Structure 1
Amino acid sequence: MKLSRRKMIRILAGVPLLGGLGILGAGGCASTGQLSRNLEKRDLFEELGIEPIINGRGTLTYLSGSLMQPEVVETISATSTRYANLNEVQDKVGSRIAELLNCEAAMVTSGAAGALTLGTAAAITGTDEELIRNLPDIPGPRREVIIQKNHRYGYDHAVRNTGIKMVEVENAREMVQAINDRTVMGLFFNAAAQFGGFEHNIGHEEFVAICKRHGIPSFIDAAADVPPASNLFLYTEMGFDLITFSGGKAIRGPQSAGLLYGRKDLIEAAKLNHSPHSNTLGRGLKVNKEEMFGMLVALELYLEKDHDAEWNQWLDWNEQIAENAKTVPTVHSEIHVNDGPANHFPDLRLSWDQTQVKITPDEAADALSKGTPPILVSSRGDSLSITVSMMKPEQVNIVARRVKNVLEEAV
């Protein structure tokens, strides 16, 4: 008699020996993969032909941002074995995060980009169920978000997802004139001046003051703006109504997680625009319970960390790489600390006399990227720039040796 697969599984489930061997998964379904391999030893990088890299460029999303702390990984694993109501998890995790950040309310989002969408949605809809259901196609005139012209950036697409119109202004006078009954929010890109090489035409305090005077929420995007850890508190103290940071950069939480925090009424409205609520703009921006718990633990660890010791460790790693490189004639090293607010790390910059070491920084970076393992660093015109902050301790020697070899071969 031929047994169906389903009937066979039911029979096997009743056999103590096989059940003890873990043929059935925790949910009652057959874990057939466990019959043929030990998943703990399975290397999916090797199996799928994906080559791990050494990240010498920093917290770039396409390079996986950062690596989660071991405690965060353990948290994700430990919380994955039980069910919970996602609304309750979000509320209680958010409440704990708000305590840590000395603010009214907080929530975990799908990265800082998800926070931008949800925060804007909250400013548009409040708790109005009809608006929430219909966003971005809501009745009436198109809502507007005010932004400084030189603050426009690719990530404001996440704000535009809500259907708003971006209104660009050049200065405080224009900002005041632009505010009308369609204005729902003011958006401040914190790193705009850093990346653009200019001063903010409207500074933080003035921007907040104008928003408050006219009764519109102010939202600051500070996604990559730790370290220092004090920035997590600075913008609340300045009076911004909404703040977002990435969870998967220097905080070293899940790469797909972010923080949205600030005014309680806006955070509650953001939750209503978010998963698990089904008929919402944010349904596709869902965050699972494991990420929420993991983000909380990552933030706790980050706030408890000895940041001075970590900074000194980065400086030591830079010195280790520099000393190896400087055994090659004419190689010079310097530490460059980005003023921030984004990517405020001590980077190592190496330069050399290219008439003696016959390779350009571009070529050196390319050679490092083609080695085994690939090492990704930056080329900045006349220098090679290496960011050590996202490296593992055991990778520093590898980088030091490989950089030296690439330069030596060019002599």
Structure 2
Amino acid sequence: MGVYEELGVRPFINAADHYTRYGGSIMWPCAVEAMVEASRQYVNLYEMQTRVGEAIAGLTGNEAAYVSCGAASGIALAVAACMAGKDPVRIEQLPDTTGMKNEVIVHRCARFYEDIAIQVPGATVVEMGDERGATEAQLAACISERTAAVLTLSPWGRMLPIDRIVHIAHARGVPVLVDAAFSIPPRANFRYFTRELGVDAIIASGGKAIRGPQTTGLVIGKKSLVEACAAHGNPNRAIGRTMKVGKEELAGVYAAVKHIMERDEDAVRREVNRMGLEIRKGLSSSSLVKSVKRSGDVVSIDIDLARRGWSDQEFERLLLDGEPSIVTWCRNGRFRVKLGTLQPGEVDRMIRRLRELLCD
């Protein structure tokens, strides 16, 4: 009996994305092996954290890297670093930010659950723009003597391009952080934000598409900022003491990043294309399926749910409660399949289940 069966927890096919609430990802075998190996001996955690950071920085072509306890923890530590630096008095003072720059600017249209991490070390969130986006003038107006950093995401819609944010913020002496939790891989993005766009640091998730331990994140970028993150991190007497990363997780995320940097991305793209074609072929006989389109590793399936009398939520529930159990989301009759989360054999199992529901 496996552990999930023993506990009464039902596994499912994750066709949604690398979401935390769904377990993040399935770790690469090399990451699991590295964690098991690391679990068998004692090491100095400071030394392990330092060496792993140096190795990941070297692999990705950056000045420095720090392993945090998930991407949200990375945001908290990076914000703390921007406010207090490596000053030992200020480090212990947080989350009291008296005498420090303590405002972090974000797009109003891109507020997200994890921005609570900005507030953990005591910072205040300042919104720029509106629900549609922001302008350069609006960003400039938000910057003041209290601004500690600007935090942004890969832009969409009318969000400001990152290179323009960097230009405006750096002209006022303000560092720029990028939440890249869903932006890596491809591996080129490890360098793109920092080297080409000039951001001070990116915060990535080690447990999403990188497929390391879910409880890991990465702060990658300028050495001075990353070193300050380490000063605020575990096991120091600092805001990051509650954000522990063990030797096993450190070994696991190192192995995962190394795998990402060494794997054949062309072969990955070919496999994604094959899976997309299999889904289109497998559903071609259903009169309820109006279209099957692929963009990157996401397939969108337009379905005439009204002919079955199903709502989006009812269709999601049928997939969740069926065999196999499939988790994803459906909006306005459009069903999403994230190919990057599917494991070997799951495409065929999912197609069979969809045919049961959608074919006459």
After superposition, the Cα gap between the structure-2 partners of 1:284 and 1:327, relative to the gap in structure 1 and judged at 3 Å, is: same
Q: Alpha-carbon deviation of 1:57?
A: 1.0
State, as a whole percentage, how many aligned pairs show the same letter.
32
Q: Do the aligned partners of 1:142 and 1:165 also contact (CA within 8 Å) in 2?
A: no
Match for 2:33: what amino acid?
E
Structure 2 equivalent of residue 349 of structure 1: 301
From 161, 183, 200, the counterpart of 2:147: 183
**Alpha-carbon separation, structure 1, partners of 2:206 and 2:144:** 34
Q: How many residues align?
A: 354
Q: Alpha-carbon deviation of 1:96?
A: 0.8
After superposition, the Cα gap between the structure-2 partners of 1:152 and 1:329, relative to the gap in structure 1 and judged at 3 Å, is: closer
Q: Alpha-carbon deviation of 1:313?
A: 1.4
Q: Alpha-carbon deviation of 1:315?
A: 2.4
**Alpha-carbon separation, structure 1, partners of 2:288 and 2:214:** 40
After superposition, the Cα gap between the structure-2 partners of 1:236 and 1:329, relative to the gap in structure 1 and judged at 3 Å, is: same
| Superposed structure 1 runs of 4+ greater than 6 Å apart | none
Q: Alpha-carbon deviation of 1:290?
A: 1.1
Match for 2:303: what amino acid?
S
**Alpha-carbon separation, structure 2, partners of 1:353 and 1:82:** 56
Structure 2 equivalent of residue 121 of structure 1: 80
Structure 1 equivalent of residue 17 of structure 2: 58
Match for 1:84: what amino acid?
V
From 155, 158, 180, the counterpart of 1:222: 180
After superposition, the Cα gap between the structure-2 partners of 1:334 and 1:380, relative to the gap in structure 1 and judged at 3 Å, is: same
The structure with the larger Rg is 1
The DSSP-based 3-state class of the residue aligned with 1:310 is helix
From 308, 315, 327, the counterpart of 2:285: 327
Superposition TM-score, scaled by structure 2 size: 0.92
Say whether residues 1:304 and 2:262 are aligned partners.
yes
Pairing of 1:190-269 with structure 2 (within 5 A): 190-191=154-155, 193=156, 198-200=157-159, 202-237=160-195, 238-269=197-228
Say whether residues 1:103 and 2:67 are aligned partners.
no
After superposition, the Cα gap between the structure-2 partners of 1:205 and 1:62, relative to the gap in structure 1 and judged at 3 Å, is: same
Aligned CA RMSD, in angstroms, stands at 1.9
The DSSP-based 3-state class of the residue aligned with 1:385 is strand
Match for 1:349: what amino acid?
I
Q: Do the aligned partners of 2:101 and 2:145 also contact (CA within 8 Å) in 1?
A: no
The DSSP-based 3-state class of the residue aligned with 1:233 is helix
Match for 1:118: what amino acid?
L
Q: Alpha-carbon deviation of 1:211?
A: 1.9
Q: Alpha-carbon deviation of 1:310?
A: 1.5
Q: Do the aligned partners of 2:300 and 2:334 also contact (CA within 8 Å) in 1?
A: no
**Alpha-carbon separation, structure 2, partners of 1:137 and 1:358:** 56
**Alpha-carbon separation, structure 1, partners of 2:209 and 2:109:** 26
Superposition TM-score, scaled by structure 1 size: 0.81
Match for 2:352: what amino acid?
R
**Alpha-carbon separation, structure 2, partners of 1:113 and 1:140:** 25
Q: Alpha-carbon deviation of 1:377?
A: 2.4
Task: Specify every segment of 5 or more residues in structure 1 that has no aligned partner in the other structure, as ranges.
Answer: 1-41, 338-343
**Alpha-carbon separation, structure 1, partners of 2:127 and 2:288:** 49
Structure 1 equivalent of residue 351 of structure 2: 400
Match for 1:303: what amino acid?
M
Structure 1 equivalent of residue 329 of structure 2: 378
Identify the structure with bigger relative contact order (alpha carbons < 8 Å, sequence gap 6+). 2
**Alpha-carbon separation, structure 2, partners of 1:247 and 1:354:** 40
Q: Alpha-carbon deviation of 1:270?
A: 0.7
Structure 1 equivalent of residue 136 of structure 2: 172
Q: Alpha-carbon deviation of 1:53?
A: 0.7
**Alpha-carbon separation, structure 2, partners of 1:346 and 1:241:** 30
Q: Do the aligned partners of 2:104 and 2:147 also contact (CA within 8 Å) in 1?
A: yes
Q: Alpha-carbon deviation of 1:287?
A: 0.5
Task: Specify every segment of 5 or more residues in structure 2 that has no aligned partner in the other structure, as ranges.
Answer: 130-134
